[in-house]
Chain A
Amino acid sequence: MKHPGMTNKVYNIPNDIFEWSEDNFKRVSKIIQKYPTSRQQSAVIPLLDLAQRQNSGWLSKTSIEKVAETLSMSYIRVLEVATFYSMFILEPIGENFVQICRTTPCWLRGSDKLVKVAREISNAKLGETSKDKKFTVVEVECLGACCNAPMVQINDDYYEDLDESTFKKILTDLKNNKSISKGSQIGRQASHHERGKDA
């Protein structure tokens, strides 16, 4: 299965330059200050995350090197961390990174159908980016929201209690830049019973 976060390759765009944005530069020094003086390299994970957010959701060669330079680490040490965690994406991805849970509870509740819908709308294979650069769809293992299965994660948010039609609507709205509602799509609160807290 292809997953842009589970590769050991470094993607390089020629002549690409990565510099911290002004806001993020302030954040960098705040993050580093959280760690003891001789242990500031521990900030590598939050800084990689910050770089990934600034670089439209993925880490380029230059952004990895920038993090290494910021923390006076060698490039290979930062790359080790970036390749270890699948949440650090190492290839360019679409605007919406759709992660469809396929572990047993979601699968029993119809995650296969969600994959089919996602592939139809994005018109791209799993792990690849759609032509309009709107979507990158991947299958992932349990995201820990099993009681609201089936669920998907799109960028930072969970979308739960899905079925084919609600998921189709979410993706179409995203494609047309319309706003969508996060969380359960049937109005469930947290992981309560479908009929409410006291049912």
Chain B
Amino acid sequence: MPTITIDNKKVEFENGMTVMQTCELAGTEIPRFCYHEKLSIAGNCRMCLVEMVKGPPKPVASCAMPAGDGMVIKTNSQMVKKARKGVMEFLLINHPLDCPICDQGGECDLQDQALHYGFDKSRYDENKRAVKNKHMGPLVSTIMTRCIHCTRCVRFSTEIAGVDDLGLLGRGENAEITTYLEKTIDSELSGNVIDLCPVGALTSKPYAFKSRPWELSKTETHDVLDGIGSSIRVDTRGKQVLRVLPRINEDTNEEWINDKTRFAIDGLSRQRLDKVYVKENNKLNTSDWNTALDRIKDEITNRGKEKTITLSGKFTDAETVISSKIFSHALGSNLYDCRFDNAQVIHGESESYKFNSSIQEVENADAILLVGSNPRWEASVLNARIRKTYINNNCKIGIIGPDLNLNYPYHKISKSLTGLNDILENNSEFSKILFNAKNPIIIIGTSAINNDQGESVLKICANIAKKLPNFSNSFNPLNILNQDISRVGSLELSFVNQYFDGDLEAKLKEKIKKNKPVVFLLGLDEISPKSLDGSFVVYCGHHGDVNAQYADIILPTPAYTEKSSTYMNIEGRVIQTSRCHNPLGEAKEEWKIFKVLSDLLECDIKFNNLNDVRKKIVEHNKNFLEIMKTSNSSKLSFASKEKLEEQTISYNISNFYMNDSISRSSETMAKCTNEILNKVKYS
């Protein structure tokens, strides 16, 4: 291996690395503004200058300089120190001295580096330049005078987000970052430019002037607003979540999070259910836990214990699932389900609902077949990965389903499910691409399997997957992209009942008409309240959304930032969230509710604390044993050759920004809907 000497320390490096990367190997930190690992190299800030011994007589930009065997680099010589001071002085010439009123203050790269590498005073007497602020939409606020033209935001939007919206106009002193005619950035990942901006030029609009970084308590946890379970850091002050930032996790979200994860948090303090409500004379009145639980006990006893139905929602964690399942069994009922969107599964086959190839494997794919899935809205960071694969791997993407606005070109195969028949018979243009590829994968969205042909779709796709060249004992190219964090975990704990196969709402209606039972809704707002007519509805949730107002009793529970819970993301990775602050109002965790109810109903369920509940989870399914690990298998024991009938796919997300009870309560997300989706012009 070639070696390089950094400050008298010899390090070995791999060919193709830059001088800056080898410096990092040697443990030397190089200051930088424009360089970013995930973006292309621009080399325009000049902050990373180092001295090359026996090289050119001037310092070299280490981020853009390829490392060579035998190079000798100095990173703290007089020349380097002087160069850094010079660059710093130039950068600060036009930078305003408004740190006291700047949102970036305290976590600003320019501030920190000016302290470490800059002069202690200014020699500049001329006027500073002023730049007009630009409109970039409801999420990104701009103070363009602060911009140092590192172009990270331009490179991010072009390369990662795949929207050519941002650009650098003019040159020299007149250079300005802007969107074309100040249009809104049309990307689900736009919030990431705020993190990328090394100064306070691009800051968060909803978070503007809210807080200083040192006032916040920071909790490392996971996002639950899509199926990915992105690693995030939640910054809170008291009982208020002020912002969400991404953490680096190469397995799931790389370094990005989508705008819903980042900005829907104002929904956490709106429309909250923080008290117990009991319906009397068709009106919901506040009440207390004892009254409500006693009433539930009476209703369950009167209406029939074994008839009780439990349905889980978008954010239902494994603890809730397992405790309600044990509770249902103790009552003698097995009428529970988690498939509110009707996405079909093949019972007993975990391959029929998991993203089997793992998210990271998407990067190695050279052909991707998307069946009834809009990854841009269903899992935005996964879509960024597909785009990366498209760029780096020349990956071909084919779509079965209506046309989409994706940020990469794709082959239109068919709008109807029958497109799968042709692929299975190797009868279409794309099937040849798919079968001749080295590393193809199939991604099935829930929009393709939420109909009566759902099971057949899964089976036919499994058949196609088996014929793919990379299908082996260790690799399974069949992926199902679930939209909700709760789904895979609930299915792993078999929180399903075959009775509800096909059309959950219709079967639910039938059952309710016959039995008039107690129905527990675990934060479920995605089914229409009409199908619950005649039943006694107990809504356990944190937001007063669609179904809460039709409930007979509302039991408040903590939102995802207020409790520690376990989930499985789409690929079956076990993630555990942390409690960032105490629950609002009288909210209690769901497992406690079921414990108390079981005591009242005198049916023993054997757990007393969170640890017991978690033990029960692992007892039910060993896959929950290790945090952050996946447990994928590549057996595909279901397959069929039956032909699919003509059926046009329609995507089941109509609004990315307001797709669950939290984001529907968020003002920021409402603004996004207006400005980005409905194109209402700002004034």
Q: Report the minimal beta-carbon distance from B337 to chain A, rounded to whole angstroms.
A: 46
Cα A34 to Cα B330 in complex, Å, equals 78
Cα A6 to Cα B171 in complex, Å, equals 9
Task: Say if the beta carbon of B176 comes within 8 Å of chain A.
Answer: yes
| A-chain residues with CB within 8 Å of residue B171 when the two chains form the complex | 83-84
Query: Interface readout for B156-173 with A: 1 if CB under 8 Å, 0 if not?
Result: 000000001111111100
Contact B181 A84 (CB under 8 A): no
Contact B169 A80 (CB under 8 A): yes
| A-chain residues with CB within 8 Å of residue B446 when the two chains form the complex | none
- A10's nearest neighbour on chain B, judged by CB, is B181
Task: Say if the beta carbon of B179 comes within 8 Å of chain A.
Answer: yes
- A12's nearest neighbour on chain B, judged by CB, is B181
Task: Say if the beta carbon of B180 comes within 8 Å of chain A.
Answer: yes
Q: Report the minimal beta-carbon distance from B176 to chain A, rounded to whole angstroms.
A: 5
Q: Report the minimal beta-carbon distance from B42 to chain A, rounded to whole angstroms.
A: 14
| B-chain residues with CB within 8 Å of residue A10 when the two chains form the complex | 181
Contact B164 A74 (CB under 8 A): yes
- A65's nearest neighbour on chain B, judged by CB, is B180
Cα A152 to Cα B536 in complex, Å, equals 89
Contact B168 A80 (CB under 8 A): yes
| B-chain residues with CB within 8 Å of residue A80 when the two chains form the complex | 167-169
| A-chain residues with CB within 8 Å of residue B180 when the two chains form the complex | 74-76, 79
Contact B176 A8 (CB under 8 A): yes
Contact A79 B169 (CB under 8 A): yes
Task: Say if the beta carbon of B174 comes within 8 Å of chain A.
Answer: yes
| A-chain residues with CB within 8 Å of residue B174 when the two chains form the complex | 6, 8
Cα A83 to Cα B168 in complex, Å, equals 9
| B-chain residues with CB within 8 Å of residue A61 when the two chains form the complex | 181
Query: Interface readout for B241-261 with A: 1 if CB under 8 Å, 0 if not?
Result: 000000000000000000000
- For A8, give its contact among B164, B165, B166, B170 (CB under 8 Å): B170
| B-chain residues with CB within 8 Å of residue A39 when the two chains form the complex | none
Cα A10 to Cα B165 in complex, Å, equals 16
- For B169, give its contact among A8, A73, A74 (CB under 8 Å): A8
| B-chain residues with CB within 8 Å of residue A73 when the two chains form the complex | 164
Cα A7 to Cα B174 in complex, Å, equals 8
Contact B165 A76 (CB under 8 A): yes
Q: Report the minimal beta-carbon distance from A183 to chain B, rounded to whole angstroms.
A: 31
Q: Report the minimal beta-carbon distance from A99 to chain B, rounded to whole angstroms.
A: 18
| B-chain residues with CB within 8 Å of residue A77 when the two chains form the complex | 164, 167
> In chain B, residues 166-197, which have Cβ atoms closer than 8 Å to a Cβ of chain A?
166-171, 174, 176, 178-181
Cα A8 to Cα B168 in complex, Å, equals 10
Category for how many chain A residues contact B: 10 to 19
Contact A83 B170 (CB under 8 A): yes
Q: Report the minimal beta-carbon distance from B406 to chain A, rounded to whole angstroms.
A: 16
Contact A79 B167 (CB under 8 A): yes
Cα A7 to Cα B175 in complex, Å, equals 10
Q: Report the minimal beta-carbon distance from A35 to chain B, rounded to whole angstroms.
A: 20
Cα A7 to Cα B168 in complex, Å, equals 13
> In chain B, residues 131-174, which have Cβ atoms closer than 8 Å to a Cβ of chain A?
164-171, 174
- B179's nearest neighbour on chain A, judged by CB, is A76
> In chain A, residues 33-47, which have Cβ atoms closer than 8 Å to a Cβ of chain B?
none
> In chain A, residues 150-183, which have Cβ atoms closer than 8 Å to a Cβ of chain B?
none
Contact A76 B166 (CB under 8 A): yes
Q: Report the minimal beta-carbon distance from B346 to chain A, rounded to whole angstroms.
A: 44
Contact A76 B164 (CB under 8 A): yes
Query: Interface readout for A64-79 with B: 1 if CB under 8 Å, 0 if not?
Result: 0000000001111101
| A-chain residues with CB within 8 Å of residue B166 when the two chains form the complex | 76
Cα A8 to Cα B182 in complex, Å, equals 12
Cα A61 to Cα B180 in complex, Å, equals 11
- B167's nearest neighbour on chain A, judged by CB, is A76
| B-chain residues with CB within 8 Å of residue A7 when the two chains form the complex | 170
Q: Report the minimal beta-carbon distance from B228 to chain A, rounded to whole angstroms.
A: 28
| A-chain residues with CB within 8 Å of residue B168 when the two chains form the complex | 80
Contact B164 A84 (CB under 8 A): no
- Among A7, A61, A79, A83, the most chain B Cβ lie within 10 Å of the Cβ of A83
Contact A83 B164 (CB under 8 A): no
Cα A190 to Cα B171 in complex, Å, equals 34
Query: Interface readout for A103-115 with B: 1 if CB under 8 Å, 0 if not?
Result: 0000000000000
Q: Report the minimal beta-carbon distance from B401 to chain A, rounded to whole angstroms.
A: 24
| A-chain residues with CB within 8 Å of residue B164 when the two chains form the complex | 73-74, 76-77
- Among A8, A10, A76, A79, the most chain B Cβ lie within 10 Å of the Cβ of A76
Cα A77 to Cα B181 in complex, Å, equals 12
Cα A73 to Cα B158 in complex, Å, equals 12
Q: Report the minimal beta-carbon distance from A193 to chain B, rounded to whole angstroms.
A: 38
Cα A49 to Cα B298 in complex, Å, equals 82
Q: Report the minimal beta-carbon distance from A127 to chain B, rounded to whole angstroms.
A: 14
Cα A7 to Cα B165 in complex, Å, equals 19
Cα A74 to Cα B161 in complex, Å, equals 14
| B-chain residues with CB within 8 Å of residue A83 when the two chains form the complex | 169-171
Cα A83 to Cα B181 in complex, Å, equals 13
| A-chain residues with CB within 8 Å of residue B178 when the two chains form the complex | 8, 76
| A-chain residues with CB within 8 Å of residue B181 when the two chains form the complex | 10, 61, 75
Q: Report the minimal beta-carbon distance from B149 to chain A, rounded to whole angstroms.
A: 13
Cα A6 to Cα B172 in complex, Å, equals 11
- Among B164, B166, B167, the most chain A Cβ lie within 10 Å of the Cβ of B167
| A-chain residues with CB within 8 Å of residue B176 when the two chains form the complex | 8
| B-chain residues with CB within 8 Å of residue A8 when the two chains form the complex | 169-170, 174, 176, 178
| A-chain residues with CB within 8 Å of residue B170 when the two chains form the complex | 6-8, 83-84
Q: Report the minimal beta-carbon distance from A52 to chain B, rounded to whole angstroms.
A: 17
- B171's nearest neighbour on chain A, judged by CB, is A84
Q: Report the minimal beta-carbon distance from A68 to chain B, rounded to whole angstroms.
A: 9
Cα A84 to Cα B180 in complex, Å, equals 15
Cα A77 to Cα B180 in complex, Å, equals 9
> In chain A, residues 1-40, which have Cβ atoms closer than 8 Å to a Cβ of chain B?
6-8, 10
- Among B164, B170, B174, B176, the most chain A Cβ lie within 10 Å of the Cβ of B170
- B181's nearest neighbour on chain A, judged by CB, is A10
Q: Report the minimal beta-carbon distance from A143 to chain B, rounded to whole angstroms.
A: 19
Cα A123 to Cα B341 in complex, Å, equals 73
Cα A80 to Cα B176 in complex, Å, equals 10
Cα A10 to Cα B169 in complex, Å, equals 11
Query: Interface readout for B98-132 with A: 1 if CB under 8 Å, 0 if not?
Result: 00000000000000000000000000000000000
Cα A98 to Cα B174 in complex, Å, equals 23
Q: Report the minimal beta-carbon distance from B175 to chain A, rounded to whole angstroms.
A: 9
Cα A137 to Cα B573 in complex, Å, equals 68
Cα A113 to Cα B179 in complex, Å, equals 42
Cα A74 to Cα B154 in complex, Å, equals 13
Q: Report the minimal beta-carbon distance from A141 to chain B, rounded to whole angstroms.
A: 13
Cα A118 to Cα B174 in complex, Å, equals 27
Q: Report the minimal beta-carbon distance from A138 to chain B, rounded to whole angstroms.
A: 15
- B132's nearest neighbour on chain A, judged by CB, is A8
Cα A74 to Cα B158 in complex, Å, equals 10
Q: Report the minimal beta-carbon distance from A65 to chain B, rounded to whole angstroms.
A: 9
Cα A74 to Cα B166 in complex, Å, equals 10
- B165's nearest neighbour on chain A, judged by CB, is A76
Q: Report the minimal beta-carbon distance from B182 to chain A, rounded to whole angstroms.
A: 10
Q: Report the minimal beta-carbon distance from B334 to chain A, rounded to whole angstroms.
A: 55
- Among A8, A73, A74, A79, the most chain B Cβ lie within 10 Å of the Cβ of A8
Kindly list 14 other residue pairs between chains A and B, CB separation below 8 angstroms, not including A74-B164, A77-B167.
A6-B170, A6-B174, A7-B170, A8-B169, A8-B174, A8-B176, A8-B178, A10-B181, A74-B165, A76-B178, A76-B179, A76-B180, A80-B168, A83-B171
9 shortest interchain CB distances as A-B pairs: A74-B164, A76-B167, A76-B180, A8-B169, A83-B169, A75-B180, A8-B170, A80-B167, A83-B170
Chain B positions within 8 Å of A, measured between CB atoms, are 164-171, 174, 176, 178-181
Q: List 8 A-B contacts (CB under 8 A).
A: A8-B169, A8-B170, A76-B179, A76-B180, A79-B167, A80-B169, A83-B169, A84-B169
Chain A positions within 8 Å of B, measured between CB atoms, are 6-8, 10, 61, 73-77, 79-80, 83-84
